[in-house]
Structure 1
């Protein structure tokens, strides 16, 4: 009975502490009295927990706030440069690393190419060596966590990359091996979901409780937020919209099915459509730009041709946008989000891609409000998954997550 009471007390203390931290972070500076008012905690509880946070260096006292009479209150704020987070974006051809402060400001960046057909040991060696390099740049004990955005299917609870299709690797125990190596928390998430979390904290999704972030690059995936929380589905497959059918008579996808959205609207779909039109004799700047070398053809080159006035290149983005718009319309009808954010390499085409998406939604969504669902580009651009990986750690530090609290006490 006594141990149960002690555990309950520690749990409540942990929840209250996290609640206070989140309010300090979200406000940018707040007095103890205002924390008590917002949280309904007693002033002594706030004072005691604030003292703990101050002694640990997580929080510092800042400037004085406005006074309604008497002494001006001292504002508490997060000591963002006292601790650091490592973020990792495991892509198809490269792995990007960042060292950030607690405001997700990037202090150091590092990019390492991935060799063809890497083995699990190769990936782990790259990760370990790069994290060692980053951690050597900060005082010992100041790196508080490692967040990883990983392409493919991820078991986020166990921190395992269940299937990384572009590496053809399965069951990579990222969390286990890196926590064993560095002795700090490691959180692993699918890259699209990490991107969605990053956008909700630091990008164009700020303030949106229900949001879908779509990553359009070599593949297509979506991160879904419901009531500010990531939705993963029963087996972690939620958001795999790249493998929903866009064209029953479409081309073969890497997953083995035909006509997947990814096969017609992602990188390889654009490339395949361009080469088909060129083989039919269609005149285009792309022909001269690749000089017969198909390996040069990618989304960036097609975009360059489009902004130079090439009609085929513009048509390719319009067609990809219409396919994507159909998928977005389906998502709106199923999830009814307050906002859709589109990121990834192909999204760099901007309105060439997004305008057709919006047009399809206006034509096909059920009611006037659904037709007006905001569809915007990523606010974090190339670093969306990287900042999202960092946010995996920050979200655990600063958000009240009841299901994890027993582990944190």
Structure 2
């Protein structure tokens, strides 16, 4: 779909009606008018246009309220598609998703250790082209990009990508010029949060936080279905929340950041330190053949290795302290945890929840729901898809 068409689709009243159909389908024209406060003629005109645009479909007949049975409307989830991109540490994941978040195809591009801006943008182009060529009959309404590091979302520029050691990458303008589609770019943790809100039914929560814990730690804050970026665009950078003022120096230059205590590399570093101090663990036998990593610590914990279990327990305590701070400042209705470290499951979740209960100041705050993400390996990719969907539907909680 060419640019401009997307703008037509997302005009205010169309977005209101689309979102009402999305959240309440099947639904009649009369019910849409009643619940949105739009006039029946306005609803009728826009529904006619949406049917012509094939964004919605007429479904079965509804229950009669005394006259003819009304024709029900549903979202045409397979009528249009979105390309989602997740820029990871060593590769870029590209997916095609329909409007319901169903992934119908994917591909990858490998990231070299040394890459230039031009190389990186070429990789993005190649991945998108590969998917489009496989599905040339599909209509696409946009491209979403989840990018690690500091992102200026409005301009779609990657200000600083630490893993690539690149600055000021014009992702949005490049992809829009090449593909003539709307492109949205956001920090990967924030995109992940929006994906959780969109595809896991958490949109019913007025406020939620999704925390992505892997090589680094980031979070996204979603309020009424929309990302909250803060005044300077750094809302959610909980990886750089100070937990120990006398702690290790972080990559950001500060000391004792959560990232130095609870990220994947921090877990591996803690295991290394304990082994060097004479700690007993099966990990000591494994590291002759395998690289010491957070995954290896988890593997040892699964075999009831007490040193590994203690490391993961302590990691959960550090995360729990950070989340307690977050609850006291933000008071979200739900916190979702994703990323590689979340695969440790109860080894960290038990101490996270215990710490939150122990440290929060009110009884209601102690009941804050904390859960593990269910999006799996598609977390940030579907988050990038949600960047486009949130623009199209503009969800608003009533």
Same fold (TM over 0.5): yes
Equivalence for 1:5: none
Cα distance in 2 between the residues matched to 1:174 and 1:192: 17
Unaligned runs of 5+ in 2: 1-6
Contact 1:205 1:341 in 2 (8 A): no
**Is contact 2:208-2:333 (8 Å) kept?**
yes
Q: 1:84, 1:143 within 8 Å by CA — same for their partners in 2?
A: yes
CA distance in 1, matches of 2:106, 2:136: 18
Q: Which residue of 2 aligns with 1:7?
A: none
Partner of 2:321: 326
Counterparts of 2:380 and 2:283, CA distance in 1: 30
Counterpart Cα distance in 1 of 2:81 and 2:226: 23
| Separation (CA, whole Å) in 2 of partners of 1:400 and 1:375 | 23
Gap runs ≥5 in structure 1 = 1-9, 402-409
Counterpart of 1:81 (choices 52, 70, 78) is 78
| Paired residues of 2:55 and 2:79 also in contact (CA < 8 A) | yes
Paired position in structure 1 for 2:355? 360
Distance 1:356 1:204, change over 3 A: farther
Which of 331, 336, 340 in structure 2 is aligned with 1:341?
A: 336
- Secondary structure at the aligned position of 2:118 is classed as helix
1:70 matched residue in structure 2: 67
Deviation sequence 1:65-94 (CA, Å, 0-9, x none)? 222233221111111111110001111112
Match of 1:149 among 146, 151, 157: 146
1:117 shift after superposition: 2.6
Query: Which of 254, 257, 269 lines up with 2:254 in the alignment?
Result: 257
Call closer, same or farther: CA 1:114–1:63 in 2, change over 3 Å: same
Paired residue secondary structure (1:136): helix
Deviations 1:222-249 (A, max 9, x none): 1011233211112211111111212222
| Aligned-partner Cα distance in 2 for 1:205–1:114 | 33
Q: How far apart are the structure 2 equivalents of 1:227 and 1:43?
A: 27
1:227 aligned to which of 224, 230, 245: 224
Query: How many residue pairs align between the two structures?
Result: 389
The structure 1 residue matched to 2:180, chosen from 158, 178, 183, is 183
How big is the shift at 1:351?
1.3
Q: Distance in 2 between matches of 1:34 and 1:288?
A: 66
8 Å CA contact 2:81–2:138 kept in 1: the answer is no
1:103 and 2:100 aligned? yes
Residue 301 of structure 1 deviates from its aligned partner by 1.7
TM-score by length of 1: 0.92
Superimposed CA distance per residue, residues 32-80 of structure 1 (whole angstroms, 9 cap, x where no aligned partner): 1111111121211111111111111111111222222332211111111
| Pairing 1:393–2:388 present | yes
How far the C-alpha of 1:260 sits from its partner, in A, is 1.2
Distance 1:312 1:204, change over 3 A: farther
Contact 2:82 2:97 in 1 (8 A): yes
Residues 4-403 of structure 1 correspond to what in structure 2 (within 5 A)?
14-139=11-136, 142-203=139-200, 205-291=202-288, 296-399=291-394
Deviations along 1:178-222, one digit per CA (max 9) or x if unpaired, are 000000000001111111111111126341111111100000011
TM-score (norm 2): 0.94
Deviation at 1:140, TM superposition (A): 5.5
How far residue 129 of structure 1 moved from its aligned partner, in angstroms, is 0.5
